[in-house]
Chain A
Amino acid sequence: TQLLEQSPQFLSIQEGENLTVYCNSSSVFSSLQWYRQEPGEGPVLLVTVVTGGEVKKLKRLTFQFGDARKDSSLHITAAQPGDTGLYLCAGLLVGSGAGSYQLTFGKGTKLSVIP
């Protein structure tokens, strides 16, 4: 059972369109991160959200953490070809304790933005 479910798994859109990617769980997270990974590279951290209901903006990207801290979304406005990549959500489970430093990762959403 995947603790963090991402949807959709694949997304192909035209340049200029808007899109939303979802990250859902039945578990509560103390924080949640979004990463972008380009082909042949490691994931790069985009944002961390910590507070339930929190909204963060990074240029054309808007990240939201659910009120119950069980889910998150990433919205991209006017997508550009440079947004192409694999988007991963990852979270730190509540109650992990001081001895547990592992993030739980979703499987990712592969986004292609066609010029």
Chain B
Amino acid sequence: DADVTQTPRNRITKTGKRIMLECSQTKGHDRMYWYRQDPGLGLRLIYYSFDVKDINKGEISDGYSVSRQAQAKFSLSLESAIPNQTALYFCATSDLAGGQPQHFGDGTRLSIL
């Protein structure tokens, strides 16, 4: 979805480095999410935010942190990257109303050596 933009699209880095993945959206949605996808697995929720002042942990938040800088921006940080955090990361947004689909960016492929 071109309305959800993730940067960078690809990143290779070393163990122990701090990394920030950024997400911006033009859909005007209040809710934003960060997911991780590993080969052969579905998407797993890392963190989510229902508005600018709201941050919640997902099922796999350990080793990650997030910042909701504005309604349109939600960044994911790996404070000290480790190899098993190598994965595909997706940002998604959804409308405030319940029962609405999430709209995804095209992902960031992160490799940690």
State whether these chains interact.
Answer: no
Residue positions of B touching A, CB distance < 8 A: none
